[in-house]
Amino acid sequence: MEIDREDLVRRAQEAKERAYAPYSNYPVGAALLAASGRVYTGCNVENAAYPQSICAERVAVFKAVSEGDTAFSAIAVVTRDGGAPCGACRQVLTEFSPDMVVLISGDAGNVRETTAGALLPDHFGPGNLR
Protein backbone atom coordinates (compact mmCIF):
# COMPACT_ATOMS: atom_id res chain seq x y z
CA MET A 1 0.00 0.00 0.00
CA GLU A 2 1.25 3.45 -0.91
CA ILE A 3 1.71 5.71 2.11
CA ASP A 4 0.95 9.39 1.60
CA ARG A 5 3.33 10.61 4.28
CA GLU A 6 2.44 14.30 3.91
CA ASP A 7 -1.29 13.61 4.28
CA LEU A 8 -0.74 11.38 7.30
CA VAL A 9 1.39 14.02 9.05
CA ARG A 10 -1.19 16.72 8.17
CA ARG A 11 -4.00 14.64 9.68
CA ALA A 12 -1.96 14.04 12.83
CA GLN A 13 -1.33 17.79 13.09
CA GLU A 14 -5.10 18.40 12.81
CA ALA A 15 -5.77 15.79 15.50
CA LYS A 16 -3.19 17.49 17.74
CA GLU A 17 -5.33 20.64 17.64
CA ARG A 18 -8.14 18.67 19.35
CA ALA A 19 -5.96 17.36 22.19
CA TYR A 20 -7.11 17.86 25.76
CA ALA A 21 -3.83 18.55 27.56
CA PRO A 22 -4.47 21.14 30.28
CA TYR A 23 -1.99 19.60 32.72
CA SER A 24 1.09 18.81 30.64
CA ASN A 25 0.43 21.43 27.97
CA TYR A 26 1.90 18.86 25.57
CA PRO A 27 -0.71 18.18 22.88
CA VAL A 28 -0.13 15.16 20.67
CA GLY A 29 -1.91 14.07 17.51
CA ALA A 30 -1.74 10.77 15.66
CA ALA A 31 -3.01 9.50 12.32
CA LEU A 32 -2.98 5.74 11.77
CA LEU A 33 -3.18 4.19 8.29
CA ALA A 34 -4.85 0.79 8.35
CA ALA A 35 -4.14 -1.86 5.73
CA SER A 36 -7.77 -1.34 4.64
CA GLY A 37 -6.85 2.20 3.56
CA ARG A 38 -8.83 3.91 6.31
CA VAL A 39 -7.14 6.54 8.46
CA TYR A 40 -7.91 6.77 12.17
CA THR A 41 -6.90 9.84 14.13
CA GLY A 42 -6.35 10.31 17.82
CA CYS A 43 -5.26 12.95 20.29
CA ASN A 44 -4.09 12.72 23.86
CA VAL A 45 -6.77 13.14 26.49
CA GLU A 46 -5.52 14.02 29.96
CA ASN A 47 -7.24 13.71 33.30
CA ALA A 48 -6.47 15.29 36.66
CA ALA A 49 -5.85 11.73 37.87
CA TYR A 50 -2.88 11.22 35.52
CA PRO A 51 -3.07 7.43 35.22
CA GLN A 52 -6.51 7.86 33.65
CA SER A 53 -5.06 9.77 30.69
CA ILE A 54 -4.46 8.21 27.27
CA CYS A 55 -2.01 8.97 24.49
CA ALA A 56 -2.94 9.92 20.94
CA GLU A 57 -1.37 6.83 19.42
CA ARG A 58 -3.40 4.46 21.57
CA VAL A 59 -6.60 6.41 20.89
CA ALA A 60 -6.04 5.95 17.15
CA VAL A 61 -5.23 2.23 17.47
CA PHE A 62 -8.17 1.53 19.78
CA LYS A 63 -10.55 3.41 17.45
CA ALA A 64 -9.31 1.32 14.55
CA VAL A 65 -9.65 -1.96 16.43
CA SER A 66 -13.15 -1.02 17.58
CA GLU A 67 -14.06 -0.53 13.90
CA GLY A 68 -12.60 -3.92 12.89
CA ASP A 69 -9.17 -2.91 11.56
CA THR A 70 -6.20 -4.69 13.15
CA ALA A 71 -3.51 -4.47 10.43
CA PHE A 72 -1.66 -1.19 10.06
CA SER A 73 0.76 0.25 7.52
CA ALA A 74 1.83 3.53 9.11
CA ILE A 75 1.25 6.03 11.87
CA ALA A 76 2.20 9.69 12.04
CA VAL A 77 2.74 11.30 15.44
CA VAL A 78 2.99 15.07 15.79
CA THR A 79 4.13 16.99 18.87
CA ARG A 80 5.56 20.48 19.22
CA ASP A 81 9.13 19.14 19.42
CA GLY A 82 9.02 15.81 17.56
CA GLY A 83 8.78 13.65 20.68
CA ALA A 84 8.64 9.91 20.05
CA PRO A 85 5.83 7.61 21.30
CA CYS A 86 6.00 6.56 24.96
CA GLY A 87 6.74 3.00 26.01
CA ALA A 88 3.07 2.05 26.42
CA CYS A 89 2.31 3.25 22.89
CA ARG A 90 5.34 1.45 21.47
CA GLN A 91 4.06 -1.78 23.03
CA VAL A 92 0.58 -1.30 21.53
CA LEU A 93 1.98 -0.46 18.08
CA THR A 94 4.24 -3.54 18.00
CA GLU A 95 1.35 -5.74 19.17
CA PHE A 96 -0.36 -5.18 15.84
CA SER A 97 2.34 -4.29 13.32
CA PRO A 98 6.02 -4.29 14.30
CA ASP A 99 6.89 -3.41 10.69
CA MET A 100 4.57 -0.41 10.43
CA VAL A 101 6.17 2.87 9.40
CA VAL A 102 6.27 5.45 12.20
CA LEU A 103 6.55 9.08 11.14
CA ILE A 104 7.52 11.42 13.98
CA SER A 105 7.14 15.15 13.39
CA GLY A 106 7.47 18.40 15.25
CA ASP A 107 5.53 21.56 14.58
CA ALA A 108 8.44 22.85 12.48
CA GLY A 109 7.71 20.08 9.96
CA ASN A 110 10.84 18.05 10.58
CA VAL A 111 9.81 14.43 9.98
CA ARG A 112 11.84 11.37 10.85
CA GLU A 113 10.89 7.86 9.87
CA THR A 114 11.37 4.57 11.68
CA THR A 115 9.32 1.43 12.41
CA ALA A 116 7.39 0.33 15.47
CA GLY A 117 9.78 -2.59 15.92
CA ALA A 118 12.82 -0.33 15.80
CA LEU A 119 11.27 1.83 18.54
CA LEU A 120 10.80 -1.25 20.74
CA PRO A 121 13.35 -3.95 19.89
CA ASP A 122 12.85 -7.36 21.48
CA HIS A 123 9.26 -6.43 22.25
CA PHE A 124 6.92 -8.71 24.17
CA GLY A 125 4.24 -9.98 21.81
CA PRO A 126 1.68 -12.66 21.04
CA GLY A 127 4.44 -15.19 20.36
CA ASN A 128 5.57 -14.96 23.96
CA LEU A 129 2.21 -16.28 25.13
CA ARG A 130 2.18 -19.42 23.00
- The residue annotated as part of the active site, out of 57, 67, 95, 113, is 57
Confidence (pLDDT) at 52: 93
Confidence (pLDDT) at 97: 92
* Residue pair 127/100 in contact by the 8 Å Cβ criterion: no
Domain limits, the chain: 5-121
Burial of 75 (0-12, 13-18, 19+ CB in 10 A): buried
User: Could you give the 3-state DSSP secondary structure of residue 87?
Assistant: helix
Rounded Cα gap, residues 128 and 35, in angstroms = 24
Q: Where are the alpha helices (DSSP H) in 20-130?
A: 56-66, 87-96, 116-119
Confidence (pLDDT) at 78: 98
Low pLDDT (below 50) residues in the chain:
none
Confidence (pLDDT) at 91: 97
Considering the domain 5-121, what is its CATH architecture? 3-Layer(aba) Sandwich (3.40)
Confidence (pLDDT) at 77: 98
* Residue pair 77/8 in contact by the 8 Å Cβ criterion: no
Confidence (pLDDT) at 127: 87
Active site residue 46: no
**Distant-in-sequence, close-in-space partners of 32: CB < 8 Å, separation ≥ 6:** 39, 40, 41, 42, 57, 60, 61, 64, 72, 74, 75
